[in-house]
Amino acid sequence: MPDIHTPFPTVPSLLASTLWALPLPPLAQALTILARRLVANHPGMINRLGPYVDRRFAIVPTDLPVTLLLHPHPTAMRVTLHRQPPASDARIAGPLAALLGLVHGTWDGDALFFSRDLVIDGDTAAALALRNAIDDSELDLGAEIAGLSGPFSTLLTQLINLAERKTGVPLRRAEAQQ
């Protein structure tokens, strides 16, 4: 695993500021489609949440001007995007690269938490259940996104791999690329 004490790549402020101009509902719909695909391909992820399946999780990439609110549900998974922090049961905040690294198993969640690269507020038991569900599912967001692109999946996979190499942001599971 890479050293988590090296600074995480951050989204350039010019790129992050473009999110202010973009309408959030279409982006939220795309993220909901991706989240539902994740649940369909990894059904154990929802089961792993157990009693926390009805919690609302605010995911806050600190280098972006938007918060994702994840509403897990076995049949109605939903993601909404907010410019102001929404009400939630648990909040997980950190640089986008750290959050993606956590999802892809690049960096250890406990180490990110204890180094304060990730901050968890609210129902920490629910946040831990979410992290464990994600860890157990061994998600690869790059592969899932490419899988949604039909005939363009090979090209999109190449673009995702290039973006990962150029930015240092983990966009795929490391072992999936080997």
Do the bridges between strand 67-71 and strand 90-94 make them parallel or antiparallel, or are there none, so unpaired? unpaired
- The pTM for the full model equals 0.88
Residue 3 clears pLDDT 50, i.e. is over it: no
The answer to whether 72 and 31 have CB atoms below 8 angstroms apart is: no
Residue 137 clears pLDDT 80, i.e. is over it: yes
Residue 155 clears pLDDT 90, i.e. is over it: yes
Confidence at 168, pLDDT banded by 50, 70, 90:
confident
Q: What is the pLDDT of residue 113?
A: 83
Q: Phi then psi for 119, rounded to 5 degrees?
A: -120, 130
Q: What is the pLDDT of residue 114?
A: 83
- For 61-75, write each residue's pLDDT tens digit: 999 999 999 999 878
Mean pLDDT calculated for residue range 68-90: 93
CA angle at residue 134 from 52 to 139, to 5 degrees?
Answer: 145
Q: What is the pLDDT of residue 1?
A: 44
Residue 150 clears pLDDT 50, i.e. is over it: yes
Residue 22 clears pLDDT 80, i.e. is over it: yes
**Residue 73 CB burial class (10 angstroms; 0-12, 13-18, ≥19):** middle
